[in-house]
Structure 1
């Protein structure tokens, strides 16, 4: 079936046929991650936006985790870093799949979630660096 560019593309299975949006659109009628969710329910759409925002924020926060201290057992440190990587990549893929719904609300939730997560992680890193500088300068003053 030939369709003009930018139009809905039919995807069919054995029991029914559904149309998949192939261009960005604005509206609450969407399918995000799961069939029938949030569909056309405003409350569920808001929940989907919040869910994508939190997933994107978590992915950014986990991508900027602090380094492991030298005294840590290498096996435990590697397991911890692998676990964090597992969840970070899983969250990032879920965000990517959500954005593939082509819904602008979901897209902006992902952008704002990544941005806010980056802000939180970098603010924490800067605060820790300033605290370490303050501690090291106070130690040198006492000597």
Structure 2
């Protein structure tokens, strides 16, 4: 849609003190569909930017967030034992773990809202790696699926 020569692809307001018109130099474009490329903004303004090494670091960060998300669920099961021995301390520890888990989940959601295909792939890969490590029993202990089945009355 032509609005007197102004591109309406960005929702950025005009610069303060300007003439009311938008210059192309100050405008940023936000993708609303998935795209492939390293020139993206993930979580923070101008991060990772246009440098390829920073994009790789951003992908590693998103992967780690997804693994941490699944690991925090395993930590909650361990904290349940603490709650049985010391109810007040256990409740505080489980609340802290829940807070971290929700914060990580929101960060992952916001990273995915960059609509970058690479971010989507590493988030899914991070969830898969976290599931393999913490829920499928690869990192010691019984598989989480078996523990879930024992605690589910509808399953028995």
TM-score range, shorter chain: 0.7 to 0.9
* Structure 1 residue ranges, 4+ long, deviating more than 3 angstroms after superposition: 123-127
**RMSD between superposed Cα atoms in Å:** 2.2
Q: Deviations over 1:44-75 (max 9, x none)?
A: 00000000000111011112322422652111
Preserved CA contact (<8 Å) 1:9 1:22: no
Aligned residue number for residue 33 of structure 1? 43
**Could you state the TM-score of these two structures normalised by the residue count of structure 2?**
0.72
**Which of the pair is proportionally richer in strand?**
1
Shift of 1:9: 3.4
Does 2:40 align with 1:9?
Answer: no
Structure 2 counterpart SS, 1:64: helix
Instruction: Summarize the Cα distance change of 1:75–1:125 in structure 2 as closer, same or farther, 3 Å threshold.
Output: farther
Preserved CA contact (<8 Å) 1:39 1:45: yes
**Could you state the TM-score of these two structures normalised by the residue count of structure 1?**
0.78
Instruction: Summarize the Cα distance change of 1:71–1:12 in structure 2 as closer, same or farther, 3 Å threshold.
Output: closer
Q: 1:19 aligns with which of 23, 29, 32?
A: 29
Whole-Å Cα distance in 1 between the matches of residues 12 and 74 of structure 2? 41
Note the residue ranges of structure 2 that are not aligned, 5 or more in a row: 3-7, 16-25, 144-156
Note the residue ranges of structure 1 that are not aligned, 5 or more in a row: 3-7, 131-143
Shift of 1:126: 8.1
Which one has more relative contact order, counting CA pairs under 8 Å at least 6 apart? 1
Aligned residue number for residue 110 of structure 1? 123
Whole-Å Cα distance in 1 between the matches of residues 122 and 97 of structure 2? 23
Shift of 1:27: 0.6
